[in-house]
Structure formats: C-alpha cells, structure tokens
C-alpha cells in the first residue's frame, strides 16, 4: 500500500503540470486576441 502511494504522488504532480500548461497557452491566446481587438479599434 505504501508503495502505490509513493508511485501515485509523482503522477499527480505530473498531471498538474500538464494541466497548467494548456491554461497558460489559453491566457496567452486571449491576450493576443485583446491586442488585435485594440488594433482594430485604432484602425477604425
């Protein structure tokens, strides 16, 4: 039982890392979208 707990922990941290990455990419995309929106407003 102890062994399974030890092997389970690194897996959890690994999953969290992969979950965090897409979130960061999403926020980056949204930031880029906002920038293009501002450019469009300025062009008008």
In the chain, where the domains are located: 1-44
Name the burial class of residue 4, with classes exposed (0-12), middle (13-18) and buried (19+) by CB atoms within 10 angstroms of its CB. Answer: exposed
Backbone angles phi, psi at 28, to 5 degrees: -65, -45
pLDDT at residue 25, as a whole number: 62
- Return the structure tokens found at 10: 């690194």
Query: What letter would DSSP give residue 1?
Result: -
Query: What letter would DSSP give residue 24?
Result: H
pLDDT tens digits for 1-42?
566 666 666 656 666 666 666 666 666 666 666 666 676 666
pLDDT at residue 10, as a whole number: 61
């Amino acid at each position: 039982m102890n062994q399974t707990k030890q092997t389970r922990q690194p897996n959890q941290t690994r999953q969290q890392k992969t979950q965090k990455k897409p979130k960061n990419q999403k926020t980056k995309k949204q930031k880029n979208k906002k920038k293009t929106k501002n450019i469009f407003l300025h062009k008008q």
